[in-house]
Amino acid sequence: MSDIKPPSGIGWTALLTAYCRSVESERPDRLFSDPLGAVFASGATETSTPDAERPRLGPANGDHTTGMWHFYCTYIAMRTPFYDQRLTHAVASGCRQVVLLAAGLDSRAYRLDLPDDTTVFELDQDAVLDYKQRVLDREQAQASCRRVPIAVDLREEWTGPLLAAGFDPKKATVWIVEGLLMYLSDSDCSQLSKTVGSLSAPGSRLVTEYYSRQPRVEDMRSGSKDEQEQASWALAMEQFDTGPTSSPATWLADHRWELTGLTHVAAETHRWNRPLPAELDQSDIVLWLLEGEFKAT
């Protein structure tokens, strides 16, 4: 057994996301390919293992049939191409700085074939980045561009470490804020947007997602009686906060960002002709996917 121990606590969600990406990558009609997803999700094993042998990780089952697992996999499968496409488009347009806030086990520096003069700054907790680096080293993975991991707690001051790592606020930047805002209060989200704006040159992009309202326990519509599945949803509910409480266009405009792209997970699920999980088939809650461009005053 390996001494590479997976992160616990909030880092567990990073493992779950990697697991979902590995499942999508195995589909014949996959929307993206993330070979490292299976490696990260295999946990503390020496090598990548077949799906049924990976850690269960709450709702994750080898047969992928449970309601909540369908929700998680659909959510990750729909949001990942949204981020991928906007990142690659921004880089093609000349952006050469990418910042991943709460990077988790993101592998875009490896799988998107970014130009070698691109720098990807990955900010997350030390335990998550340490696990990630150990796995990458074991797999001898090679990024297509320069990757700079920065161990920080985003609840504390993080701009200093980012600047010290070589980030240049005078250059246009792609900010990827994936799977984060739902864990923050409305005021914290506003502060984050303001901070990101203070570090952004005109033409910078912000790509993120959030719920139109705070999810509740009763939003689990799949009716599962599976204890691990219920515990997974309960854990998510404990971590969730309000996120932004205004519309995407208003929230972005409040801090000099102009809305340039907007959809939601249910719409993307319909677009790709995938079955819609019960948790997403609700008129009163929307899982927004949005992009904004920073404008000069």
The answer, as to whether pTM is greater than 0.85, is yes
Tell the burial category of 290 from Cβ atoms under 10 Å away from its Cβ (0-12, 13-18, 19+): buried
The DSSP-derived string for 29-57 is T-S---HHHHHHHTTTSSS---GGGS--T
Instruction: Name the pLDDT band for 146 (thresholds 50, 70, 90).
Output: very high
Average pLDDT of the residues of the chain: 87
pLDDT tens digits, residue range 54-63?
A: 445 555 555 5
Tell the burial category of 149 from Cβ atoms under 10 Å away from its Cβ (0-12, 13-18, 19+): buried
What is the strand order of the sheet 205-211 is part of?
A: 146-151, 119-124, 97-101, 173-177, 205-211, 287-294, 257-264
- 């590995």: which residue's tokens? 22
Residue 206 or residue 13, greater confidence: 206
pLDDT tens digits, residue range 180-213?
A: 999 999 999 999 999 999 999 999 999 999 999 9
Mean pLDDT of 114-138: 95
The pLDDT value recorded for residue 222 is: 64
Q: Average the pLDDT over each of 156-160, 223-227, 250-254 and give the range with the smallest value.
A: 223-227
Instruction: Name the pLDDT band for 12 (thresholds 50, 70, 90).
Output: confident
Instruction: Name the pLDDT band for 26 (thresholds 50, 70, 90).
Output: very high
How far, in Å, are 69, 101, 123, 184, 217 from residue 158 at the CA level?
Answer: 33, 10, 9, 16, 32
The pLDDT value recorded for residue 50 is: 39
Q: What is the DSSP letter of 219?
A: G
Instruction: Name the pLDDT band for 47 (thresholds 50, 70, 90).
Output: very low
Domains and CATH numbers, the chain: 65-294 (3.40.50.150)
The pLDDT value recorded for residue 54 is: 45
Judged against a pLDDT cut of 60, whether residue 103 lies above it is answered with yes
